[in-house]
Structure 1
């Protein structure tokens, strides 16, 4: 039965701003308080979606969240009308208002973890919304994320949805940013690769000293159980703690995988060799031929990988069996990274072509091409069951481009976050968007 990998890119929300909220994310902190351009950010993301669609890849869109999150501010003691809540928060607790204004849901690699039906015990595609509890501004996303995913993948015959894990540090879950799936083909059983930064209960696992390890082993194990994955179809690996302390806050900043290929930095993992052997053996038992492409530290230092987001790229399978690597413009601007990529594609390996995209607005906030997309492997009948309103087409691209121009500001700074009118603009835009994408009522303001 034919099967496809579909990429659902996050549509950047109208409140895209540089709040510097993500400790451990070097780009996010470096550009804190800079003036952002929400319109440009959304259009850059849409341009990437359109380009991949035109290359023949299955492409979808995932809606942004309502911001500011007035309900979150009310739960923290701010009372009155919506405008009064925003104004008081701006006067008394600007960092809280900035957190509740964040458009970070654009990075849909963190929205959830997905297991295809070929891997799960009940033969359905499983989704577990990520609790993202390491950062307050992201921890408030999962209720809306769950509603949006349920509206996109609504048929219970084909899709199963799980609530986020308990919102405590022991089960910190960052979604697909720490999850990769290897397979011979998308419709056949594969091996799901869960990467964690620390263990919550086992002191034998070392932890980083400077920045937090956001994903726990226990969270990864819980998701695997919820999805009904077999032991033969799962491999767990730990990030190198010292690399997390250099700004590698998610595994997708230091490694990317697709099909039978893992593209990773030499310093990405602890105990790399036994991990690679386990991946190779388990994928071989499922008919696959695992291939590991290691980028040596002498060619690309971790610092260069973090600055360029070389590994926060999309690795896509083409019909001729070769692979295409989608990278941000920052890779071309880094001489060492660009030299390595030219050498990579000049050989006989699986990665044959590089395509560069300008995603500066997202990159300055700490998210590259891989952050912006959620991968969902779907068999033909499952794809037919996806809400057609979220599947990218030339007509939808034109409609969304016009929608962005109609509703988005072209600049946003700290003082603008205190403007109650921004909430009105956001709600007006999202109300129209739910009709465009045929999502129904998914936002809090639509549910009251």
Structure 2
């Protein structure tokens, strides 16, 4: 049976804006309050999806959330019609309005943690939406994320869906941005690497001082239990608190893996050598595990954050070679571009580098890896996926036309207070659920 890894990229939402909502995310904060281009952002994301499809990858689309989230505004005491609720929020609590307009669901690496059937006790693909409790604007996502994932992976014979973890910082869960699966082949049992920022119940352990550690060990352990993973095939590693304080808000800003490759920065982890030894032992001897360490003398943490060297995708091509999918910011950096060029000549599976322009996402704090959710599956499981969400030439054309029809070219902070933006967003999303055959996954469709 054929096995492979599919990528499901998030569609950028109609309210894509730069509100600087994410403390600890340097790029997000540095571009706060600049005008954005939802249309350009969505098209950049679609072009990346189509490029991976053309490289032979199985590529899917994950729908955005409804924004502005007027239901949350009502829970917070704003009353009247939808237009009045938005108007009152704009005047009385503009920071709250900016938060409920966030299009951050585009970064689907935070949508959920996924374990493939080869790793789970019941032989099903398991999904747990991330609760994203550390950031108010992202904590609004998990319920709708769960509905969208269930509409995409709806066959209970192959897919198991869990409710997100309790909405509390003790179980802060940031999803696949802190999760990497390593394996000798996609269809074989692998090692699932869970990365966390802090211990929720032990304040004596190392923790960052400047920026928050969003993901806890306890959340990692809970997801592993929910997914029925064996202890012998799970490794828990702590992020280096010092790099979190430099702006490494998720592990995928400092490390990325694929099959038998872990590509990481020298300063990524606490107790690095011991944990890498554990990883090597649990990986076994089915194939060589390539641990590619980037030294600080080669690329500094600051340069890695600026270019998102590790927020790249590492994919396996049809010929068995691996390629890095990188933002053009990596190409523009002398240190990073020269490192990547040299990497392809080394004795590792990585032999190609492909650069893509995703500047609208980069400026809001997310690179290529933020935009995608990885799902290793069999051909049989692929056939059980909602086929309308899988990229094709026709879907690419349809979605570009949909964006041209519904998205604004520019959105400023002042535009978020325009009630018309909510109507435009709902009209667009209602049409999108028909294109992708998702059913009524949004609250406005159920009222």
Q: What TM-score, normalized by structure 2, do the two folds share? A: 0.99
| Number of aligned positions between the proteins | 447
Q: Distance in 2 between matches of 1:272 and 1:50?
A: 37
Query: Does the alignment pair 1:445 with 2:424?
Result: no
Query: Does the alignment pair 1:104 with 2:104?
Result: yes
Q: Distance in 2 between matches of 1:219 and 1:111?
A: 15
Task: Quote how far apart the aligned CAs of 1:204 are.
Answer: 4.1
Q: Distance in 1 between matches of 2:204 and 2:337?
A: 38
Kept after mapping to 2: 8 A contact 1:24/1:212 = yes
Q: Distance in 2 between matches of 1:203 and 1:371?
A: 29
Q: Distance in 1 between matches of 2:73 and 2:237?
A: 37
Kept after mapping to 1: 8 A contact 2:14/2:407 = yes
For the residue of structure 1 that corresponds to 2:306, the secondary structure is helix
Moved more, 33-42 or 275-284: 275-284
Q: Distance in 1 between matches of 2:335 and 2:429?
A: 42
| Residue in structure 2 matched with residue 51 of structure 1 by the alignment | 51
Q: What TM-score, normalized by structure 1, do the two folds share? A: 0.99
Kept after mapping to 2: 8 A contact 1:133/1:169 = yes
Q: Distance in 1 between matches of 2:148 and 2:235?
A: 29
| Residue in structure 2 matched with residue 182 of structure 1 by the alignment | 182
Q: Distance in 2 between matches of 1:266 and 1:195?
A: 15
Task: Quote how far apart the aligned CAs of 1:231 are.
Answer: 0.4
For the residue of structure 2 that corresponds to 1:156, the secondary structure is coil
Within a 5 Å distance, the mapping from 1:69-80 to structure 2 comes to 69-80=69-80
Task: Quote how far apart the aligned CAs of 1:319 are.
Answer: 2.5
Q: Distance in 2 between matches of 1:266 and 1:7?
A: 27
Deviations along 1:347-396, one digit per CA (max 9) or x if unpaired, are 23211111000000000000000000000001111100000010000000
Q: Distance in 1 between matches of 2:418 and 2:144?
A: 23
Kept after mapping to 1: 8 A contact 2:158/2:381 = yes
Task: Quote how far apart the aligned CAs of 1:41 are.
Answer: 0.0
Kept after mapping to 2: 8 A contact 1:280/1:289 = no
Q: Distance in 2 between matches of 1:150 and 1:25?
A: 30
Kept after mapping to 2: 8 A contact 1:20/1:32 = yes
Task: Quote how far apart the aligned CAs of 1:289 are.
Answer: 2.5
Task: Quote how far apart the aligned CAs of 1:297 are.
Answer: 0.2
| Residue in structure 2 matched with residue 430 of structure 1 by the alignment | 429
Q: Distance in 2 between matches of 1:223 and 1:388?
A: 27
Kept after mapping to 2: 8 A contact 1:67/1:100 = yes
Q: Distance in 2 between matches of 1:288 and 1:227?
A: 25
| Residue in structure 2 matched with residue 291 of structure 1 by the alignment | 290
Within a 5 Å distance, the mapping from 1:296-315 to structure 2 comes to 296-315=295-314
For the residue of structure 2 that corresponds to 1:257, the secondary structure is strand
Q: Distance in 1 between matches of 2:33 and 2:401?
A: 28
Within a 5 Å distance, the mapping from 1:265-284 to structure 2 comes to 265-284=265-284
Task: Quote how far apart the aligned CAs of 1:215 are.
Answer: 0.4
Kept after mapping to 2: 8 A contact 1:86/1:418 = yes
Task: Give me the CA root mean square deviation.
Answer: 0.7
| Residue in structure 1 matched with residue 382 of structure 2 by the alignment | 383
Within a 5 Å distance, the mapping from 1:234-249 to structure 2 comes to 234-249=234-249
| Residue in structure 1 matched with residue 120 of structure 2 by the alignment | 120
Task: Quote how far apart the aligned CAs of 1:3 are.
Answer: 0.8
Within a 5 Å distance, the mapping from 1:324-339 to structure 2 comes to 324-339=323-338
Q: Distance in 1 between matches of 2:201 and 2:304?
A: 31
Deviations along 1:46-102, one digit per CA (max 9) or x if unpaired, are 000001101101100000010000000011110111000000000010010000000
Q: Distance in 2 between matches of 1:157 and 1:432?
A: 29
Q: Distance in 2 between matches of 1:289 and 1:443?
A: 45
Find runs of 4+ consecutive structure 1 residues off by over 3 angstroms: none
Task: Quote how far apart the aligned CAs of 1:214 are.
Answer: 0.4
Kept after mapping to 1: 8 A contact 2:55/2:317 = no
Q: Distance in 1 between matches of 2:85 and 2:99?
A: 14
Query: Does the alignment pair 1:412 with 2:411?
Result: yes
Deviations along 1:98-145, one digit per CA (max 9) or x if unpaired, are 000000000000000000001001110000000000000000000100
Kept after mapping to 2: 8 A contact 1:173/1:219 = yes
Q: Distance in 2 between matches of 1:261 and 1:422?
A: 44
Query: Does the alignment pair 1:362 with 2:323?
Result: no
Deviations along 1:277-307, one digit per CA (max 9) or x if unpaired, are 111111116x242110000000000000000
Kept after mapping to 2: 8 A contact 1:283/1:289 = no
Kept after mapping to 1: 8 A contact 2:133/2:172 = yes
| Residue in structure 2 matched with residue 260 of structure 1 by the alignment | 260
| Residue in structure 2 matched with residue 317 of structure 1 by the alignment | 316
Q: Distance in 2 between matches of 1:263 and 1:228?
A: 27
For the residue of structure 1 that corresponds to 2:246, the secondary structure is coil
Kept after mapping to 1: 8 A contact 2:290/2:348 = no
| Residue in structure 2 matched with residue 83 of structure 1 by the alignment | 83
Moved more, 348-357 or 367-376: 348-357
Task: Quote how far apart the aligned CAs of 1:335 are.
Answer: 1.2
Kept after mapping to 2: 8 A contact 1:260/1:291 = yes
Q: Distance in 1 between matches of 2:432 and 2:191?
A: 36
Kept after mapping to 2: 8 A contact 1:10/1:372 = yes
Q: Distance in 1 between matches of 2:407 and 2:109?
A: 23
| Residue in structure 2 matched with residue 353 of structure 1 by the alignment | 352
| Residue in structure 1 matched with residue 402 of structure 2 by the alignment | 403
